[in-house]
Amino acid sequence: MKKIERVHNALIRGPVDKFPVFISATPQFMKKALPSGKLGPNPSQIWNYCSELNLDIIQAGHPVFYPVKILELKQGDTYLDKMGRNHIIKGYYDNFTAPFALQSGEKLVDIEEIESSWNEYKFPDPEDPSWFEALKQIKRENEKSQDPLSIWGVINGPLEPTWQLMSDGWPAFFILYRRAPELAREIINKVADFCIKAGQAMIEHGVHAIRIGDDYALNEGLMTSTKVWKELVYPAHQTLIKGLKEKGGKDFPVILHSDGNIMDILELLATGDINGESNEEIHIDGLNPIQPDALEFEEVVNKIGDRLSMTGAFDLRYFLDPPNKDTRQQMETEIRRLFSIMRNFNGQQGNQIRSEKGPERSDRSLLNTGFCIGPTHQIQPRSYVDTFEMWIELIHQMKKH
């Protein structure tokens, strides 16, 4: 089975010969894995690394959401991105800092300033050809291969860019909603429209799936009440999914990345309807990352595994340990646990997946569906490259059985 077909089938819970594998890593880690100058490896070099490791997937972020200049600048340096967000290089990341696009930051929420700035705010062009240079390089490498990688385009969902326009943290937006609900709705809905255009442009440029990055929760639960999430965030989320499916087709996979404990909204995300009735146009296909300490993988699979594919789930903290015998044994045990949970669940489902194009199937290939194994988050700079590559080796050994 070719990689693109394998990944697509896994995401829509169709027949798969083995679990696909992918990675997501910080620029600092990729620079360590592929020493290649000050700015780290280019997209072609990353593609070749993924290919050499026999991965199934490569991810390409839309730079309008993810400018990332951590390798270019020094600690404490600031820069303004195309969306008007001010960044500061701090620790391992490009964090957000005042002044913000919609307010100076002197107050947590200054409604008058936000409204005035919003009336004058202009989004950048999400279809600007310059955004897609990395994606074009990846596609050129794919075209040379007899077994090309599945390309996941990565965009933001509506919530994160909305609060980033007005603050360095999400509470400000929910305070705005309490004080000026119509303004809050208008902003998040316009951001959703912008995200749709960015995602549709990536589909136009040939990605095989879209992963939406939009954190909805903390480890303890949602960032806001379920009621507010349904009223404010969910309609914008639905609009985005519908827009992506309209462009890519109803079988085009859309994956949601959300940190934290999102158990309270899993049914809504899977069904795409606030009343619990399934709607193919506005439900996601995959969930990422199933974060340890916030969600229990087996619990999530048992609750929603018949409707959503799991992507991620492997705790990246293992990569912080040196590549010795104990680390290898611990990683092997965890890989086996994740694979067993999925295969047992699929077996209990009777190994049957409905298809509009044919009858129900029942065969061994369905034991490996519904899961793309990868790290829960971006592999951190302090991680051991040898430990990470040992993990890949273990996966290839174990997913054959």
**CATH number of the domain residue 54 falls in:** 3.20.20.210
> In this structure, is residue 287 part of a structural domain?
yes
What confidence tens digit (pLDDT) does each residue in 379-391 have? Answer: 999 999 999 999 9
The burial class, CB within 10 Å (0-12 / 13-18 / 19+), for 298 is: middle
Long-range pairs for 341-345: beta carbons < 8 A, 24 or more residues apart:
341/297, 341/298, 341/301, 342/19, 342/301, 342/305, 342/310, 342/367, 342/368, 342/370, 342/371, 343/367, 343/368, 345/301, 345/302, 345/305, 345/370
- The upper half-sphere exposure of residue 102, i.e. CA atoms within 13 Å in the direction of its Cβ, equals 27
Residue-wise pLDDT for 263-296, tens only, equals 999 999 998 876 666 676 788 999 999 999 999 9
Q: What is the rounded CA–CA span in Å between residue 362 and residue 351?
A: 5
Q: Which residue has the higher pLDDT, 273 or 398?
A: 398
C-alpha 352/C-alpha 167 separation (Å) is 47
Q: Note the pTM of the prediction, 2 decimals.
A: 0.95
Which residues are bridge partners to 78 per DSSP? 88
Domain range enclosing 258: 3-68+106-398
Query: What per-residue confidence (pLDDT) applies to 355?
Result: 45
Judge whether 99 lies within some domain. no
Number of domains in the chain: 1
For residue 19, the model assigns a pLDDT of: 96
Q: What is the pLDDT of residues 196-216, one digit of tens each?
A: 999 999 999 999 999 999 999
| Residue 318: closest CA among 396, 393, 394, 375 | 375
List, for residues 232-269, the tens digit of each pLDDT value: 999 999 999 999 999 999 999 999 999 999 999 999 99
Pairing type for strands 78-80 and 86-90 reads: antiparallel
Q: Does 263 reside within a domain?
A: yes
Please check whether residue 243 lies inside any domain of the structure: yes
Give the list of residues 6+ apart from residue 108 with CB closer than 8 angstroms, or none.
Answer: 167, 171, 172, 175
Inter-residue long-range contacts of 89-95, CB under 8 Å, 24+ positions, other chains counted:
92/26, 92/28, 92/380, 92/381, 94/67, 94/68, 94/69, 94/70, 95/168
- Residue 191 token pair: 């951001």
Whether residue 350 is predicted with pLDDT greater than 80 in this model: the reply is no
Structural domain includes residue 321: yes
Mean of the pLDDT values across residues 164-170? 97
| Residue 87 per-residue DSSP state | E
The verdict on residue 130 lying in a domain is yes
Asked if the structure places residue 100 within a domain, the reply is no
pLDDT at 139 exceeding the cut of 80: yes
269 occurs within a structural domain: yes
What percentage of the chain carries pLDDT values higher than 90? Answer: 90
